[in-house]
């Protein structure tokens, strides 16, 4: 795995069923990981809703993004981050999420953006 | 009676707030799509200015898809698609906030 | 592509030969798709097909090659968890070909 300054950070701000933004972001992550490009994900704003357990996408005939997200550890994508403030603003319990994410305060979020070589936002 | 629908999440869009500011009873307010996140406890303060003449509804399938059906605030009545259709028939006007 | 005919039923394929409806899959579908690719399915093929179907049921993804290799190793041991083994079973592009026979969509993040 390359050093962080050569790695890619995908920043996603959309919830799991908001058009195709969340899915486009995840496709890029999985493709990068398949080619062994080191990649991390920052779930900002409504994107923290992607991390809720018990999503039943079939209720609206959608594909389950949550199922796809659970494959991330298999793709060796383990650098997952979320601003603590995004969870707090939405009343979400950080101990009850689909995947283990590192919670960042706002300064740490800003520092994270500096630490990656490339950033793509969705 | 006017039916107001909101389909944007309140954490990143102003649609819900703008709708509530413009709302007076008798009226129905229905949260759909990403709007259903507004029915979770983190956003109850937005609804404080509404009185008993505004009935608040939220769509079941959109809650389930987002894994938040257990988090709905007591102010809301959870309705299915058929009840959504009936509600829109019962109201003489509809305003979509997005 | 021309549809398959199985027990009087027509099974629709997309232009690249993947199933149009994933629910149409059956072992017989796999046999016919394999036959069209010049492959007669043996136990070792079925192992990979089973792995792919389980993977898809859990993650709703067709795994890329690197992930397929890794998962094969975890499930069936090191001597099978390598690209040589998979290339021997599914020549050319194993992740794509095996996904096709397993009735999965084409892997979207795979060359």
pLDDT band (50, 70, 90) for residue C58? very high
Question: Residue A4's pLDDT is what?
Answer: 66
The pLDDT value given to residue A3: 65
Instruction: Please indicate, yes or no, whether residues C65 and C26 belong to a single structural domain of this protein.
Output: no
Whether the per-residue pLDDT at B69 is higher than 90: the answer is: yes
Domain assignment present for residue C111? The answer is: no
- With the CA atoms of B2, B7, B10 and B14 taken in that order, what torsion angle do they form, in degrees rounded to the nearest 10? -70
Residues C32 and C62 in one domain: no
The residue range of the domain holding C8 is: 4-36
pLDDT of C7 above 90:
no
Average pLDDT of span B81-85:
97
pLDDT of residue C111: 55
Instruction: Check CB contact of A13 with chain B, cutoff 8 Å.
Output: yes
Best mutation target among A18, A49, A98 (most B Cβ atoms within 10 Å) is A49
Which residue range is the domain that position A94 belongs to?
A: 4-121
Contacts of A17 in chain B (CB under 8 A): 33-34, 62, 65-66
CATH of the domain at A92: 3.40.1260.10
What's the rounded mean pLDDT across residues B4-31? 95
Check CB contact under 8 Å for C108 and A27.
yes
Q: Using the beta-carbon criterion (under 8 Å), do A70 and C70 form an inter-chain contact?
A: no
pLDDT of res. C93: 93
- Encode pLDDT of A64-102 as tens digits: 999 999 999 999 999 999 999 999 999 999 999 999 999
Chain A contact for C88, CB < 8 A?
no
Q: Which of A50-54, B6-10, C1-5 bottoms out in mean pLDDT, i.e. has the lowest?
A: C1-5
What pLDDT sits at residue C38? Answer: 96
What residue of A is the nearest CA neighbor of C58? A67
Of B9, B41, B65, the CB nearest to A55: B65
Is pLDDT at A1 greater than 90 in this prediction? no
CA C88 to chain centre: 14
- Enumerate the residues of chain A whose CB falls inside 8 A of the CB of residue B71: 91
The pLDDT of residue A19 is 77
From the CA of A42, how many Å to the nearest CA of chain C? 21
Closest partner CB to A54 (pick from B34, B40, B67): B67
pLDDT above 90 as % of chain B = 97
**C19 and C60 inside one domain:** no
Angle between the C65-76 and A21-34 helix axes, to the nearest 10 degrees? 70
Query: How many residues are given for chain A?
Result: 122
Residue C110 annotated in active site: yes
> CB contacts < 8 Å between A and B, how many?
64
User: In this prediction, what percent of chain A has a pLDDT beyond 70?
Assistant: 96
Average pLDDT over residues B53-70: 97
| CATH number of the domain bearing residue C89 | 1.10.10.370
C108, part of any domain: no
Contact B28, B55 (CB under 8 A): yes
Residue A18: predicted pLDDT = 83
A86: nearest Cα among A5, A15, A9:
A15
Please answer yes or no on whether C66 and A34 come within 8 Å at the CB atom. Answer: yes
Same-domain check for residues C30 and C51: no
* Residue C1 pLDDT: 84
Q: Name the more confident of B25 and B85.
A: B85
Structural domains counted in chain A: 1
Residue C48 belongs to a domain: yes
Domains belonging to chain B, first-starting first, are 2-97 (3.40.1260.10)
Query: Which CATH number goes with the domain that contains C16?
Result: 3.30.1420.10
Task: Please say if the pLDDT value at position A2 is more than 90.
Answer: no
Q: How far apart are CA A43 and CA A65, in angstroms?
A: 14
Residues B91-97 have a mean pLDDT of 94
Q: At residue A6, does pLDDT exceed 90?
A: no
Q: B: neighbours with 3+ CB pairs under 8 Å? A: A
Average pLDDT over residues C67-93: 96
Residue C28 forms part of a structural domain: yes
Q: Could you give the 3-state DSSP secondary structure of residue B60? A: helix
A and B adjacent (3 or more CB pairs under 8 angstroms) = yes
Query: What's the Cα-to-Cα distance from A12 to each of A38, C53, C108, rounded to whole Å?
Result: 17, 29, 20
User: How far apart (Å, rounded) are the C-alpha atoms in residues A70 and C59?
Assistant: 7
């Amino acid at each position: 795995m390359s050093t962080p300054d050569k790695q890619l950070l995908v920043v996603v701000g959309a919830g799991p069923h908001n058009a195709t933004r969340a899915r486009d972001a995840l496709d890029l992550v999985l493709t990068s990981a398949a080619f062994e490009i080191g990649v991390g994900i920052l779930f900002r704003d409504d994107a923290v809703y992607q991390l809720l357990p018990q999503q039943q996408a079939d209720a609206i005939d959608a594909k389950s993004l949550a199922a796809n997200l659970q494959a991330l550890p298999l793709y060796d994508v383990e650098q997952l981050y979320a601003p603590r403030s995004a969870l707090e603003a939405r009343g979400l319990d950080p101990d009850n999420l689909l995947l283990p994410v590192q919670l960042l305060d706002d300064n740490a979020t800003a520092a994270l953006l500096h630490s990656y070589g490339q950033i793509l936002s969705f | 009676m006017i039916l107001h629908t909101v389909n944007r999440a309140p954490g990143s869009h102003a649609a819900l707030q703008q709708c509530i500011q413009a709302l007076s009873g008798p009226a129905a307010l229905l949260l759909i799509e990403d709007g259903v996140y507004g029915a979770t406890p983190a956003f109850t303060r937005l609804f404080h200015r509404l009185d008993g003449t505004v009935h608040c509804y939220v769509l079941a399938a959109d809650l389930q898809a987002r894994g938040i059906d257990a988090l709905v605030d007591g102010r809301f009545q959870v309705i299915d698609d058929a009840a959504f259709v009936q509600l829109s028939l019962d109201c003489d006007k509809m305003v979509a906030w997005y | 592509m021309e549809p398959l005919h199985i027990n009087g039923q027509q099974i629709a394929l997309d232009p690249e030969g993947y199933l149009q409806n994933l629910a149409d899959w059956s072992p017989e579908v796999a046999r016919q798709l394999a036959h069209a690719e010049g492959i007669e399915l043996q136990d070792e093929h079925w192992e990979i097909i089973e792995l792919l179907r389980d993977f898809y049921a859990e993650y709703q993804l067709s795994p890329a090659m690197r992930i397929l290799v890794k998962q094969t190793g975890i499930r069936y041991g090191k001597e099978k968890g390598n690209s040589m083994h998979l290339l021997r079973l599914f020549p050319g592009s194993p992740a794509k070909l095996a996904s096709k026979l397993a009735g999965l969509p084409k892997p979207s993040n795979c060359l």
